[in-house]
Every structure is written in structure tokens, then in C-alpha cells.
Structure 1
Amino acid sequence: MSYDLMEYKKILEEDIYLLGYQELRYAIFEGEKNNRQEYQVRIEKNEAKFEVYMTADRASVMGKYEFEDIFQAFNQFLNIMQLTVLSNRRRVKDGEPPEYPCPLWEK
């Protein structure tokens, strides 16, 4: 099966926009070493698999998931985004500092 990564990236970016998550830190098919930030949700193509993970402090990898199906990878990517929003909203509500500044924590 041939993958057009730029077409998949476009589809995922449209979903992110529809959910209102464009303010989150994320990277889609940027290359594992490129555009890394702390507390960033990432999806990469690595040989025959799609990898979805979050970076932690100093952009270290935290919890990597591997999928053969792109749409399962999309689902995990969007789930991590949602959990990021919810956990940071909880932190702000509890008077704790969020992972990073983002207007989504206040909604």
C-alpha cells in the first residue's frame, strides 16, 4: 500500500482544526529529530509502522504507540490531544502549573 503522507497530514490537520486543538504543541510527519518541543504530541512514519507519542520535559519520548493502520494512529493522536487538554485544565483548576501556556486550558 502506498502512503501519501502529505494527504494524511492534511486530513489530520483538518480534524485538529475542527476540534479547536490547533493551539496545542504537535508535529505531524516532521521527522523524529525535527521540530521537537517539550510536551508535544507527535505522529511519525517509521518504515511500515506509524508511531504516535508525546514528548516530555527536554523533549524526551513518553509512551510510544505503533500502528500499521494510519486511522488507528490518527485516533490515538487525537486521544492524546484530548487528554492533554483535559489534564492541563484539571491542573489549572487545582491551582497547579500547566505543562505549558495555552489558551485551551482556560476554556
Structure 2
Amino acid sequence: MDMLSDKKKLLNREIQKLGYDSLRVAIFNQKDKNRMEWQTRIEYDLDTGIYQIYSLGDRASLIGKITNYTDFDSAKNIFLNKLELTVKYNKLRVSRGKQPEYSSPLWDGE
């Protein structure tokens, strides 16, 4: 579990560095724990050694598909890219006068 703890710390540092602290994320929680609407998640399956990345929508339902990666660097890059897309998407919604998925200083007041 120390491996996941170190990787979780690394991801949290990256999120802070990018200024994405206000985004809804779950890092290495169990699939049924701490689920929130409009959340981006990265999980690790200990049995298969696979990282899983996916997003939740309204009522914490799955959006799209779960993508699987065997190496952490690929999973990390895709996870951070999903967060960047979340910011861009919600900024676009606000700029068009639509409601964002949820409130965040990253797009509120755009």
C-alpha cells in the first residue's frame, strides 16, 4: 500500500501545482467509496495491477467508459488530462451562459 500512498501524494501535488484543488477527484479509493456527482476518479486494482480512470456524472453515474492502464505514468497523464478537460468544458459552458457541472473558482465568474 505504500506504493499507492506515494503515488497518491504525487497526484495531489500535481493537482495543487495545476491549481485544480477545487475539482472533484477521488484518488485510489474503492469504487463504491466517496462517490460524488461530476467526479473524476483513478483507482488501482490490486488483483490485476491495472489503473482505472473514469468520470462520474449526475447522481454519480458512470460517464463514458472506464479506461485501463498497466503503468502509472500513462494513467497519471490521462487522469490529469481529464481534469484539464473538465476545466475547459465548464469554462466553455459558463462563457455560453449555461450552468457548469458544479461550482468552482476555476470557472465561476468567467
Same fold? TM cut 0.5: yes
Greater Cα offset, 56-65 or 13-22:
56-65
Aligned to 2:82: 80
CA–CA distance in 2 between the matches of 1:102 and 1:58? 18
Please give the per-residue CA displacement for 1:70-99, whole angstroms capped at 9, x wherever unaligned.
110000100000000000000000000000
Please give the per-residue CA displacement for 1:3-45, whole angstroms capped at 9, x wherever unaligned.
7100000001000000000100000001110000000000000
Unaligned runs of 5+ residues in structure 2 are none
How far the C-alpha of 1:48 sits from its partner, in A, is: 1.5
Unaligned runs of 5+ residues in structure 1 are none
Q: Does 1:9 align with 2:8?
A: yes
Structure 1 stretches of 4+ with a deviation exceeding 4 A read none
Q: Does 1:50 align with 2:14?
A: no
Query: % of aligned pairs identical?
Result: 42
Where 2:42 maps in the other structure, the secondary structure is strand
- What is the root-mean-square deviation in Å for CA atoms of aligned residues? 1.4
2:93 equivalent among 91, 94, 98: 91
Q: Does 1:25 align with 2:24?
A: yes
Please give the per-residue CA displacement for 1:40-72, whole angstroms capped at 9, x wherever unaligned.
000000132000010011111123110000110
Q: TM-score, normalised by structure 1?
A: 0.94
Q: One-letter code of the match for 2:11? A: L
Aligned to 2:68: 66
